[in-house]
């Protein structure tokens, strides 16, 4: 892996202390998106990693998953499937509830978005607890398709999502690690 590229990508991500609440170090990818060189490099690294894996569809969860999943799908010339918060998708959906720090939320996917032949890659900006990706993976299973893996720009190793996803059998590729919560 080209470590200079990874250092450059990491350097464009800003950290905002105490957002959205006291004690959280918010890793902000909007500053990466504002830098076309870093944004392109990020998509290029994902493309190189996944180009020969037989992936048939990319899934990204609303909202930040769209920002990296959609350009990667275009680069790979395969469909992008949005996974959305409840009530946003107009056709019939599968739903999956997942646990947040306070309470629960739901993610949905169109029931006709995947077929049992699909080999799916889940893409997101950041891996914290892994709850979002486990819920997305459960939606893929409901549709009868296979999860090939999950890709992230940022992993927060101190939160433990990587171990959780690997224990669920989800192979992960993370470009950068940021210590702390």
Ligand X SMILES: Nc1ncnc2[nH]cnc12
- CA 180 to chain centroid, in Å, comes to 20
> Is 101 one of the catalytic residues?
yes
Asked whether position 26 contacts ligand X by CB under 6 A, the answer is yes
Q: Which does 145 bind (CB under 5 to 8 A by kind): ligand X, ligand PRP, none?
A: none
- The residue within the footprint of ligand PRP, chosen from 61, 72, 76, 140 (CB under 6 A), is 61
Q: Could you say which DSSP state residue 94 is in?
A: E
Tokens of 178: 């940021």
> Is 64 one of the catalytic residues?
yes
Q: What are phi and psi of 38, to 5 degrees?
A: -65, -40
Q: Which does 25 bind (CB under 5 to 8 A by kind): ligand PRP, ligand X, none?
A: ligand X
Asked whether position 13 contacts ligand PRP by CB under 6 A, the answer is no
Q: Choose the catalytic residue: 22, 92, 101, 179.
A: 101
Q: Determine the straight-line distance between the first and last CA of the chain, rounded to whole angstroms.
A: 26
Distances (CA, A) of 131 to 48, 104, 160: 27, 10, 11
| Residues binding ligand X (CB under 6 A) | 24-27, 126, 128, 156
């Amino acid at each position: 892996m080209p470590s200079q590229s990874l250092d450059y990508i990491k350097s464009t991500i800003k950290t905002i202390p105490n957002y959205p609440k006291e004690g959280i170090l918010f890793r902000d990818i909007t500053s990466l998106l504002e830098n076309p060189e870093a944004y392109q490099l990020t998509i290029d690294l994902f493309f190189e990693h996944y180009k020969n894996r037989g992936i048939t569809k990319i899934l990204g969860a609303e909202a930040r998953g769209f920002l990296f999943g959609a350009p990667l799908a275009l680069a790979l010339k395969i469909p992008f499937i949005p996974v959305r918060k409840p009530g946003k998708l107009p056709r019939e959906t599968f739903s999956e509830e997942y646990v947040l720090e306070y309470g629960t939320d739901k993610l949905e996917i169109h029931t006709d978005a995947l077929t049992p032949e699909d080999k799916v890659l889940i893409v997101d900006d950041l891996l914290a607890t892994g709850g979002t990706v486990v819920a997305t993976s459960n939606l893929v299973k409901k549709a009868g398709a296979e999860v090939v893996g999950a890709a992230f720009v940022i992993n927060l190793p101190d939160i433990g999502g990587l171990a959780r996803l690997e224990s669920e059998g989800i192979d992960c590729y993370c470009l950068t690690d940021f210590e702390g919560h």
